[in-house]
Amino acid sequence: MSKLITAFLLLLSIGVHAIEVVKVGVYEFPPYVFVNDKATGITVEMIGLMNKFQKDYQFEVVTTTSQRRYKDFVDKKFDMLLFESKGWGWLKYPVKGSMAFLKGAEHYVALVEPGRGQDFFTDFKNKKMVGMLGYHYAFARYHGEPDYLKKNYNMTLTDNQQTNLDLILNKRGDIAVMSKAYLNYYFAKHPDLKAKFLVSDKTDQIYRHTALVRKGLKTITFRDINKLLQGMKTKGVLTPLWKKHGLE
């Protein structure tokens, strides 16, 4: 018995290092997240790199949706998100943003037609807009409520980026708002369709992706995430991931 007690005290003196589990919410946001049977995409790959880079935390994927993510956060189903911005509906929630680790942008996309040029994107009056459920757009003053967007901007909302481009192709919408990252992904898969789309030179918004972390957590803070992200940046861990997916 005395040997067991001695061993136990020895472990205490050395310090038993427990790995903290951090649940990361992800939702359909191609090419960052694809949700089928399981979540895949850039975000999931980044989480894998974060787990390999250090031994203090185990980051686990928790699937949600773009609309449900706020309720799931309140219900504490997850405590952190990647590739997010506080401006995307998070201002009233107890979250803290990390350092920016990647730049992104959203552009307007229309069908190529004779005589149509960049001036087509000057205003959106009398045009059918197309967007994603739960997303926030600068031209709509970052409102994300479906009823507001439908009423004020005649906006059709879906839960699939490819569906939105299909709506433009089939002339069931005039202008879709699309992330540059998704357009790069889509045109790489469908190079024959690239010439059919007119992409705006101007952006709807330029954003800097951050991690959002629940305030008051004892397991991890935004400072811990900053330290981790800075370490990965210094070591060049994330650069191959950005290059692989054509990101800036």
* pLDDT tens figures, 179-198: 999 999 999 999 999 999 99
Structure confidence at residue 227 (pLDDT):
97
* pLDDT tens figures, 17-26: 578 999 999 9
15 Cβ neighbours under 8 A, 6+ residues apart = none
Q: How does residue 83 score in pLDDT terms, banded at 50, 70 and 90?
A: very high
* pLDDT tens figures, 148-182: 999 999 999 998 999 999 999 999 999 999 999 99
78 Cβ neighbours under 8 A, 6+ residues apart = 23, 24, 25, 62, 64, 72
List the Cα angle 54/55/61 in 5-degree steps: 80
What the block records as the tokens of 37 is 């049977």
What the block records as the tokens of 33 is 């997240």
Delineate the domains of the chain, giving CATH numbers in brackets: 18-103+207-244 (3.40.190.10), 105-204 (3.40.190.10)
